[in-house]
Chain A
């Protein structure tokens, strides 16, 4: 299994998905060697062997700007310097070399590579070992850049990886369609396997005590509805539209407050936008949140909005549902395909989003119906099912099972 991050050293949903999937696979008997590009302890992982491709700390790896493809360079693998670990391409080259060594020592039954970050290593491993390559697409460059543009080198790596793959797993129909339409890959090669949520992960004795966001709790006492999102502040997440809808909703309904938990390159722009619309006092910026602050952000919230311009899946929506939120999800977010008791809107449709926000805030009945019903739906999505489907794919590729 070739990945870029695992909890607790993850910056987003990719790490969580890899962790949950591997854990479920291990329970079903898979013997997994998981490669990450950094060196660190993973205290909760004993069901697989983790290999560190470089001596970087997780923090140094964050500094490479993994999810900000503008910062990712233009160097071809042949031009990259594996000794230069301050350079994203250098780190990727080192990662490839590490994987080359690995497969030389032990031929895997299958190679399961996650996203463009590890596709080059996956292709090289397939070339050297002859093992089947399964490319798992959590996000494409079209999603990350939020536009038709994006980094041409990343596009090319994705194209090659998808072409070379024996089988492709997409996390939603949206992603499958992008792979077909934008990369010209035959539909027959692609399967959709939705991510899931392991709600038992949340049963760690956590009790919401209402103390982290005390001001927001005070507002709730006053009858305010808290609308939140927990995300990276990048173009992909469509947050400018969210702020504009917040302003429009606030014109119609006074008792609204908006919690933007997270950080990212768009933060300053969003702060300025809220000021431009005169709603600075209604919009709360937390900065990057972890641990209790992160969970409490969900808990204090009544309505969770996923405003993404392009979201292959969107695990945070399920996390929010688990913490008793009503969900509003853009049609451009894959998680919406597997949920029904939600509001959907096109990411650019500010009027519709503001209507939905006001609608929920103004009707306690509607709010509790949405919160109740979504609980039955998200609980049906299980990582065990995901692992089953992966095992089936490995089985199709070859007899014997490993990843």
Chain B
């Protein structure tokens, strides 16, 4: 009988944000991602260095310490290609600290699209290219193979699971959303409907969001959350079950929840408390799949994500502007690929990063709930115009190759 365990999985990502790229830049400058002004959060280097100090450096130091102190402590990370490129440019020490974590053999890297894109829903061939590009980048930097897949924003449906099964992944991650689970618990390993070999791990969103979203919220009735209290909840949650899947953004530690909220101390204490019982352990995502047989089959015909109370894609594909952008971007695929121009292809792929679509989301904007809306732009309309102009510039650059076909409207 395997020990009860926590499957901690942290998602590490930074997009290449588009600068205030105007009509007047279009067809003139191709530096969509190079904001010069240091005083704005559109400046990718500035944001990266800030988050490196607040989150990546202190959290990796803590993880390294916990791995050294507790032989049972394990975790999994998904690290996007766009993050790794930025780290290589501006903070190589951050890459090295991730390499040290992986070298312990107790930190698993999870597969995903290199560009943090929603390509699966628009072009499976492009999607697979990005999955391969990510696998390659992970091999180069960490010398490991990835075996478990997570899609951008945890956007999941049965078709994706079937794809991952056929592609050879042993596991896949999804949201443990109540309308899907119904009476079942997310604290087991499952088998996706219509698959033969692959296992499904579902996020325990209540326990995860207690840290990711609620930890420092003083209006929350459970504030302040202590390690004691959280251990008690974990024990209750996992009673006679297998695993607790704590899936969240890595930046929860230090960026979404600042150091002064006590998040680091909390986490260190909790890991120690949890491992005090010899019935308890931590699993990597592969480790959890190896330790437990699937408890049943789960079907999600419709796409479920880990975002918002709706758990759907409306934050990225919920309005006409967002749908226009993906239509224009993916319609360029064949023409872009056949140029074999690596910088043009890379720019096109950087524009596929889901964050750009998120910045064009209007559903909170119209509610006036701008606090729920994290964006470096003044409005979703501004964000839309800048990306739209960048797409036009891609068309202009394409035209230099093909003379025809690429330059529309």
Digitize A271-291: 1 where CB-to-B-CB distance is under 8 Å, 0 elsewhere: 110011011111011110000
Q: Which residue of A lies closest to B385 (CB)?
A: A285
Determine how close the nearest CB of chain A comes to the CB of B29; give it in whole angstroms: 10
The answer to whether A215 and B23 touch (CB under 8 A), given A267-B381, A271-B384, A285-B385, is yes
In the complex the two chains form, is A286's CB within 8 Å of B381's CB? no
Interfacial residues of chain A within 266-323, with CB under 8 A of chain B in the complex: 267-268, 271-272, 275-276, 278-282, 284-287, 293
- Does B399 have its Cβ within 8 Å of any Cβ on chain A? yes
In the complex the two chains form, is B24's CB within 8 Å of A281's CB? no
In the complex the two chains form, is A218's CB within 8 Å of B399's CB? yes
Q: Which residue of A lies closest to B409 (CB)?
A: A282
Within the assembled complex, what's the spacing in Å between the Cα atoms of A211 and B25?
Answer: 10
- Does A201 have its Cβ within 8 Å of any Cβ on chain B? no
Q: Which A residues are in CB contact (< 8 Å) with B381? A: 267-268, 271-272
Within the assembled complex, what's the spacing in Å between the Cα atoms of A282 and B409?
Answer: 4
Q: Which residue from B323, B325, B407 sits with its C-beta under 8 Å from A219?
A: B407
Q: Which residue from B325, B385, B392 sits with its C-beta under 8 Å from A215?
A: B392
Q: Which B residues are in CB contact (< 8 Å) with A252? A: none
Digitize B370-409: 1 where CB-to-A-CB distance is under 8 Å, 0 elsewhere: 0000000001010011001001110010010000000111
Q: Which A residues are in CB contact (< 8 Å) with B385? A: 271, 285
In the complex the two chains form, is A276's CB within 8 Å of B320's CB? yes
- Does B89 have its Cβ within 8 Å of any Cβ on chain A? no
Within the assembled complex, what's the spacing in Å between the Cα atoms of A285 and B23?
Answer: 7
Determine how close the nearest CB of chain B comes to the CB of A255; give it in whole angstroms: 9
- Does A348 have its Cβ within 8 Å of any Cβ on chain B? no
In the complex the two chains form, is B328's CB within 8 Å of A275's CB? no
Within the assembled complex, what's the spacing in Å between the Cα atoms of A219 and B406?
Answer: 11
The answer to whether A286 and B24 touch (CB under 8 A), given A271-B385, A281-B408, is yes
Taking Cβ atoms with an 8 Å cutoff, the residues of B that contact A are 22-24, 26-28, 319-321, 323-325, 327-328, 362, 379, 381, 384-385, 388, 391-393, 396, 399, 407-409
B327, B392, B396, B409: most-surrounded residue (chain A CB, <10 A)? B409
In the complex the two chains form, is A222's CB within 8 Å of B407's CB? yes
In the complex the two chains form, is A275's CB within 8 Å of B408's CB? no
Within the assembled complex, what's the spacing in Å between the Cα atoms of A191 and B399?
Answer: 56
9 contacts between A and B (CB under 8 A): A214-B27, A218-B396, A219-B409, A272-B321, A275-B324, A275-B384, A281-B328, A281-B392, A285-B23
Q: Which B residues are in CB contact (< 8 Å) with A272? A: 319-321, 362, 381
Determine how close the nearest CB of chain B comes to the CB of A284; give it in whole angstroms: 5
In the complex the two chains form, is A218's CB within 8 Å of B409's CB? no
- Does A358 have its Cβ within 8 Å of any Cβ on chain B? no
- Does A213 have its Cβ within 8 Å of any Cβ on chain B? yes
Determine how close the nearest CB of chain B comes to the CB of A98; give it in whole angstroms: 37
In the complex the two chains form, is B22's CB within 8 Å of A286's CB? yes
Q: Which B residues are in CB contact (< 8 Å) with A341? A: none
Chain B: interface secondary structure?
A: helix
Q: Which B residues are in CB contact (< 8 Å) with A284? A: 23
Q: Which A residues are in CB contact (< 8 Å) with B384? A: 271, 275, 280
Chain A interface size band reads 20 to 34
In the complex the two chains form, is B409's CB within 8 Å of A212's CB? no
Determine how close the nearest CB of chain B comes to the CB of A119; give it in whole angstroms: 36
Q: Which residue of B lies closest to A250 (CB)?
A: B409
In the complex the two chains form, is A275's CB within 8 Å of B409's CB? no
Within the assembled complex, what's the spacing in Å between the Cα atoms of A272 and B323?
Answer: 11
In the complex the two chains form, is A214's CB within 8 Å of B22's CB? no
Determine how close the nearest CB of chain B comes to the CB of A243; give it in whole angstroms: 12
Q: Which B residues are in CB contact (< 8 Å) with A257? A: 409
Interfacial residues of chain A within 203-217, with CB under 8 A of chain B in the complex: 211-215
Determine how close the nearest CB of chain A comes to the CB of B157; give it in whole angstroms: 26
Within the assembled complex, what's the spacing in Å between the Cα atoms of A285 and B26?
Answer: 12
Within the assembled complex, what's the spacing in Å between the Cα atoms of A287 and B28?
Answer: 18
Interfacial residues of chain A within 79-134, with CB under 8 A of chain B in the complex: none
Within the assembled complex, what's the spacing in Å between the Cα atoms of A62 and B409?
Answer: 35
Within the assembled complex, what's the spacing in Å between the Cα atoms of A218 and B403?
Answer: 11
Taking Cβ atoms with an 8 Å cutoff, the residues of A that contact B are 211-215, 218-219, 222, 250, 256-257, 267-268, 271-272, 275-276, 278-282, 284-287, 293
In the complex the two chains form, is A213's CB within 8 Å of B24's CB? yes
In the complex the two chains form, is A280's CB within 8 Å of B388's CB? yes
Q: Which B residues are in CB contact (< 8 Å) with A276? A: 320
Q: Which A residues are in CB contact (< 8 Å) with B362? A: 272
The answer to whether A214 and B388 touch (CB under 8 A), given A222-B407, A275-B324, is no
Q: Which residue from B22, B23, B320, B409 sits with its C-beta under 8 Å from A281?
A: B409
Determine how close the nearest CB of chain B comes to the CB of A197; give it in whole angstroms: 26
Q: Which B residues are in CB contact (< 8 Å) with A213? A: 23-24
Within the assembled complex, what's the spacing in Å between the Cα atoms of A177 and B319?
Answer: 43
The answer to whether A214 and B320 touch (CB under 8 A), given A268-B381, A281-B328, is no
Q: Which residue of B lies closest to A267 (CB)?
A: B381
Q: Which A residues are in CB contact (< 8 Å) with B320? A: 272, 275-276, 278
In the complex the two chains form, is B319's CB within 8 Å of A212's CB? no
Q: Which residue of B lies closest to A293 (CB)?
A: B24
Q: Which B residues are in CB contact (< 8 Å) with A222? A: 407
The answer to whether A281 and B324 touch (CB under 8 A), given A214-B27, A215-B23, A222-B407, is yes
In the complex the two chains form, is B393's CB within 8 Å of A215's CB? yes
Q: Which residue from B393, B399, B409 sits with its C-beta under 8 Å from A279?
A: B409
Within the assembled complex, what's the spacing in Å between the Cα atoms of A267 and B385?
Answer: 11
In the complex the two chains form, is B393's CB within 8 Å of A275's CB? no
Determine how close the nearest CB of chain B comes to the CB of A382; give it in whole angstroms: 34
Within the assembled complex, what's the spacing in Å between the Cα atoms of A272 and B385?
Answer: 11
Q: Which residue of A lies closest to B331 (CB)?
A: A281
In the complex the two chains form, is A214's CB within 8 Å of B26's CB? yes
The answer to whether A280 and B393 touch (CB under 8 A), given A218-B399, A222-B407, A268-B381, is no
Q: Which B residues are in CB contact (< 8 Å) with A278? A: 320, 324, 327
Within the assembled complex, what's the spacing in Å between the Cα atoms of A218 and B400?
Answer: 11
Within the assembled complex, what's the spacing in Å between the Cα atoms of A267 and B381?
Answer: 9
Q: Which residue of A lies closest to B323 (CB)?
A: A275
Q: Which B residues are in CB contact (< 8 Å) with A211? A: 28
Within the assembled complex, what's the spacing in Å between the Cα atoms of A182 and B221?
Answer: 61
11 further contact pairs, Cβ within 8 A, besides A256-B409, A280-B321, A284-B23: A212-B24, A213-B23, A213-B24, A215-B392, A250-B409, A271-B385, A272-B319, A280-B388, A281-B328, A281-B388, A281-B409
B327, B379, B385: most-surrounded residue (chain A CB, <10 A)? B385
Determine how close the nearest CB of chain B comes to the CB of A331; give it in whole angstroms: 29
Determine how close the nearest CB of chain A comes to the CB of B60; give it in whole angstroms: 41
Q: Which residue from A214, A218, A285, A287 sits with its C-beta under 8 Å from B407?
A: A218
In the complex the two chains form, is A281's CB within 8 Å of B407's CB? no
The answer to whether A214 and B28 touch (CB under 8 A), given A267-B381, A271-B385, is yes
Q: Which B residues are in CB contact (< 8 Å) with A256? A: 409
Q: Which residue of B lies closest to A222 (CB)?
A: B407
B28, B362, B388: most-surrounded residue (chain A CB, <10 A)? B388
Q: Which A residues are in CB contact (< 8 Å) with B28? A: 211, 214
Q: Which A residues are in CB contact (< 8 Å) with B388? A: 280-281
Closest A-B pairs by Cβ, 8 of them: A282-B409, A275-B320, A215-B27, A214-B27, A281-B409, A215-B26, A275-B321, A280-B324
Within the assembled complex, what's the spacing in Å between the Cα atoms of A268 and B378?
Answer: 12
